[in-house]
Structure 1
Amino acid sequence: MSSLNDFDVNNFAEKNTSEQEIINSMDDKATDTSSRNEIDNSISDKDSLSSFEVKFDNESEIPDPEDIKRILPIYRKYIIGMVITLTSMVITIISSCWTLISDRIMDHFHISHEVSVLGISFYIFGLGVGPLFLSPLSELYGRRKTFIISLFFSIVWQCLVIWSKTIEGVMFGRFLSGFFGSAFLSVAGGLFTDIFEKKNIGIPITIYTTSPMLGPALGPIISGALHGTNYKWTFITMLLASGLSFICVILLVPETYEPVLLIEKAKRLRKETGDERFFAPMELQRRDTNLLNSIANSARGPFGLLIRDPMMATLCFYTGLVLAIVYLFFVAFPYIFETIYEFGAVEVGCAYVGLLVGILLASPTSFIIQKHYEKKVADNNGISTPEMRFEALYYGAFLTPIGLMIFCWTCYRKVHWIGPIIGSSIFGSGVFYVFTGVFSYTVDGYRKFSATAMACNSFVRSTMSAVFPLFGLQMYKGMGVNWAGFLIACITTAMIPVPFLFEKYGAKLRAKSPYAWDDN
Structure 2
Amino acid sequence: MLMQDSNGKVYYQVGWAGPDDPLNPKKWSTIHRVGATMLVCLVAFVATIASSIDSAVLTSATAELGVSEVAESLATALFLVGMGLGALLLSPLSELLGRYLVYLVSLFIFGCWILGAALAPNFGAQLVFRFLAGFSASAPLTVAGGTVGDMWDPVEKTFALPLYAIPAFGGPVFGPVIGAYVGYDPSVDWRWAEWITLILVGATFILILLLKKESFAPRILHYKAACFRKLTGNERFLTAAEASHASLGELMSKSFLRPFFLSTQPIVVAFTLYLTIVYIILFTFLDGYPFIFAETYGINEGLSNICFMGLFIGIMLSAILVPLAYRRTLQQLKSDGDDGSGKLVHRESRLFFAMVGAPALPIGLFWMGWTDYNSISIWSPLAASVLVGFSNICIFMSAYMYIIDSYEAYAASALTFNALTRYIAAGGMTVVGIPMYRSLETHWTLTLLGCLGVLTVPIPYVLYRYGPSLRRRSQWAV
Distance 1:384 1:429 in 2: 25
Is 1:238 aligned with 2:194? no
The answer to whether the 8 Å contact 1:320/1:464 transfers is yes
Alignment map for 1:39-438 (pairs within 5 Å): 49-50=10-11, 52-59=12-19, 63=21, 66-70=23-27, 72-227=28-183, 228=185, 229-285=188-244, 287-289=245-247, 291-307=248-264, 309-382=265-338, 383-438=344-399
Cα offsets for 1:161-188 (capped at 9, x unmatched): 0001021111011011111111232221
Distance 1:455 1:264 in 2: 28
Distance 1:512 1:428 in 2: 34
Shift of 1:292: 4.1
Distance 1:66 1:347 in 2: 49
Change (3 A) 1:162 1:370: same
Structure 1 residue aligned with 2:405: 444
Structure 1 residue aligned with 2:341: none
Distance 1:219 1:502 in 2: 33
Cα offsets for 1:67-96 (capped at 9, x unmatched): 2222x1111111111111111111111111
**Among residues 468, 474, 480, which one is paired with 2:435 in the alignment?**
474
Normalised TM-score (structure 1): 0.86
Shift of 1:271: 3.4
Is 1:512 aligned with 2:473? yes
Distance 2:205 2:472 in 1: 40
Distance 2:148 2:59 in 1: 40
Cα offsets for 1:430-470 (capped at 9, x unmatched): 11111111111122223323332332222122122112222
**More displaced, 366-375 or 506-515?**
506-515
> Letter of the aligned partner of 1:54 in structure 2?
V
Shift of 1:515: 3.0
Shift of 1:381: 3.1
The 3-state SS of whatever aligns with 1:514 is coil
Shift of 1:304: 1.7
Distance 2:104 2:415 in 1: 19
Distance 1:451 1:247 in 2: 27
Distance 1:89 1:381 in 2: 38
Distance 2:33 2:41 in 1: 12
Distance 1:456 1:189 in 2: 15
Shift of 1:370: 1.5
The answer to whether the 8 Å contact 2:148/2:160 transfers is yes
| Structure 1 portions without partners, runs of 5+ | 1-8, 20-45
> Letter of the aligned partner of 1:357 in structure 2?
I
Structure 2 residue aligned with 1:4: none
The answer to whether the 8 Å contact 2:276/2:425 transfers is yes
Shift of 1:296: 3.4
Distance 2:241 2:124 in 1: 41
Shift of 1:201: 1.2
Distance 1:114 1:151 in 2: 29
Distance 1:400 1:466 in 2: 21
Which stretches of structure 1, 4 residues or longer, exceed 6 Å deviation after superposition? none
The 3-state SS of whatever aligns with 2:447 is helix
Alignment map for 1:479-494 (pairs within 5 Å): 479-494=440-455
Change (3 A) 1:454 1:185: farther
Distance 2:205 2:256 in 1: 26
Distance 2:123 2:141 in 1: 27
Distance 1:288 1:397 in 2: 42
Distance 1:190 1:508 in 2: 27
Shift of 1:288: 4.9
> Letter of the aligned partner of 1:427 in structure 2?
V
The answer to whether the 8 Å contact 2:102/2:140 transfers is no
The answer to whether the 8 Å contact 1:193/1:447 transfers is no
> Letter of the aligned partner of 1:185 in structure 2?
L
Distance 1:333 1:306 in 2: 33
> Letter of the aligned partner of 1:135 in structure 2?
S
Distance 2:447 2:433 in 1: 13
Distance 2:191 2:249 in 1: 36
> Letter of the aligned partner of 2:192 in structure 1?
W
Shift of 1:212: 3.0
Distance 1:351 1:18 in 2: 61
Distance 1:360 1:67 in 2: 31
Distance 1:379 1:439 in 2: 25
Normalised TM-score (structure 2): 0.93
> Letter of the aligned partner of 1:465 in structure 2?
A
The answer to whether the 8 Å contact 1:190/1:443 transfers is no
Change (3 A) 1:96 1:18: closer
Cα offsets for 1:50-75 (capped at 9, x unmatched): 5x12222444x5x1x532222x1111
Shift of 1:501: 1.1
Cα offsets for 1:16-55 (capped at 9, x unmatched): x967xxxxxxxxxxxxxxxxxxxxxxxxxx5xx15x1222
The answer to whether the 8 Å contact 2:155/2:329 transfers is no
Shift of 1:269: 2.4
Shift of 1:409: 0.8
Shift of 1:141: 1.9
Distance 1:288 1:209 in 2: 32
RMSD: 2.0
> Letter of the aligned partner of 2:321 in structure 1?
T
Cα offsets for 1:295-354 (capped at 9, x unmatched): 2332112222213x1211211221121122011100011122222111112211221111
Shift of 1:516: 2.5
The answer to whether the 8 Å contact 2:43/2:141 transfers is no
The 3-state SS of whatever aligns with 2:225 is helix
> Letter of the aligned partner of 1:404 in structure 2?
L
